[in-house]
A and B are shown apart, each in its own frame.
Chain A
Amino acid sequence: MSLQTKSYIKGVKVSERHGAGEWLQERLSSLILVPLTVWGLWSGWVLSGAGYDGALAWFRSPVNAILLATTLLVTLWHMNMGLKVIVDDYIHKPMSRNALVGLIGLLCVVLAAAGVFFIVRLALGSAPLPAGFGA
């Protein structure tokens, strides 16, 4: 689309590139996170002081595991957009900005993959991963 084209919806000037889509995604992810955050706070309450066995028992409920995975993924989606907006606002050199946005995206993908991997293992009751961590 040419940059000269002006787009209007109901007489209001709207983004001619990808801004409107990002705006909608930010609101959509916020809306989904409203109930998930309430559930997350409740889960934090339940898991506090529950210990290792209590946490494992919590994960054996498929509802908990599925809701936690959903919360994690939607949160990372929301977080990726939020951090990108902060970088866009304060970092003006294209090279630094693109590098930071790329790093943030990479971090979110790694957290999503690792998080879902751990959640699936815990939900299936898999044996603890190789010892040595924190020992």
Chain B
Amino acid sequence: MSTSPLPGDASNDPSDHQTGRFVRQPNGRVRPLSPHLQVWRWHVTMLASILVRVTGGALAVGVLLVAIWLMALAFGPDAYAVFTGWMGSPLGLLVWIGLTAALAYHFAGGVRHLIWDAGEGLTPKSANLLSTASIAFAVVVTVAFWAGLFMTGRVVL
């Protein structure tokens, strides 16, 4: 990768090799390329916002699993035994732990967005704090929930 040119240099000498940094517009002018995610420094607010969407997608799978749970229960003890056999396996438990984390995070992220939509907590400092807090909340809830399930013997490996 070559050294990054100053934006001023670009318009002075458009023939320079500045691949990926500047782009020639149809009218011949050289303009800086708009910032892409790959070169954008990650902020906690970005991560927090993107995680809401990712966990939302994961939770759609969770809704499917809940529907399958209802179906297994409605089909009687044999079907339910098959269901709990799958879901109680190490892979099944891993899926449910992930879904717990997704639910806890999507919940906290949703509340954060509701706070923002009300016009509160929008200074950079508060926004960063709320974002960090929602991630921490999800971690704490997930760890506490599953540690509790294992320690009370409700779930055994």
Contact = CB atoms under 8 A, between A and B. Distances in A.
A binds B: yes
At the interface, is chain B mostly helix, strand, loop or mixed?
helix
Given A114-B71, A118-B70, A122-B73, A134 B79 contact: yes
B137 to A, nearest CB: 12
Interface in B42-98: 53, 56-57, 59-60, 63-64, 66-67, 70-84
B76 A131 contact: yes
Contact of B110 (A33, A40, A49, A56): A33
Contact of A76 (B63, B107, B145, B155): B63
A135 to B, nearest CB: 6
Interface of B: 53, 56-57, 59-60, 63-64, 66-67, 70-84, 100, 103-104, 107, 110-111, 113-114, 117, 141, 145, 148-149, 153-156
Given A41-B103, A133-B71, 6 more contacts: A45-B148, A49-B153, A86-B57, A115-B70, A118-B67, A122-B73
